[in-house]
Each structure stands twice: as structure tokens, then as C-alpha cells.
Amino acid sequence: MTSDLQTLVDRHVADRSPASREAAVLAALPLVRSILGKISAPDHPLASDEDLESVGLTGLLESLDAYDPSHGTRFTTYAYVRIRGAIVDYLRSIDVLSQKKREQMWEASQAAERLRQRL
């Protein structure tokens, strides 16, 4: 699959036609879904599977437009970082707590768990 995707992306980079773009996106859709499967999404109304897949597809399209094979990076490697980054950025944007507050909550829960273990 990876070599097929790379071939389709290389074709798209060469001619930039809508048909080649569509073929590359359809071939890369399993990559987006794979990344989504590795990210734990919060229980939030704006973090539905459809919303996250849409954000992942946006990251895929941006990576397809910006990909330059002359840098020597495979498309899947390049796209993985861009897609995952788009999803994580989206999840952070809908989170009501700051990253610092999240860290403090995690540390407090770890401390409480250690106390439970001792007592």
C-alpha cells in the first residue's frame, strides 16, 4: 500500500490534476483512519469521529499540497506528522483547560493514586 500511495503522490506532484489529487487522497484515507485509531479522543461533542476525520483529511490535503519529494522524505512519513499535528491542534483548541492545568490534574491524580496504594 505504501509504495502505491507514494506512486500516486509522485504522479500528483508531477501533474497536479484534480484526478491525480483525488486518487492520492483516496489511497491515503487509511493512513488518516490509522492515525485516528492511535489518538485517544476526549468525550466532547466537537470530538466526534466525523469531526476528527474531517480535521485529519484537512491535514492530509495540506500535506499533499506542501509535499516536495526532492527533500528525500517518503510521503507517508511527511503526511503522518502533518495529519497527527492537525488533529492534536484541533483537540487542544476545543479543550476548556490549558495544557498546564491538564498537567496539574494528571500530577494530582498520580499523587492520589500513590496515596491510595500506600494506605
Give residue-wise pLDDT tens across range 72-106.
Answer: 999 999 999 999 999 999 998 888 777 788 889 88
* pTM score, whole prediction: 0.78
pLDDT recorded at residue 2: 61
pLDDT recorded at residue 56: 97
Cα distances from 64 to residues 22, 57, 102, 108, in angstroms, run 11, 10, 33, 42
Mean of the per-residue pLDDT values of the chain: 91
pLDDT recorded at residue 95: 81
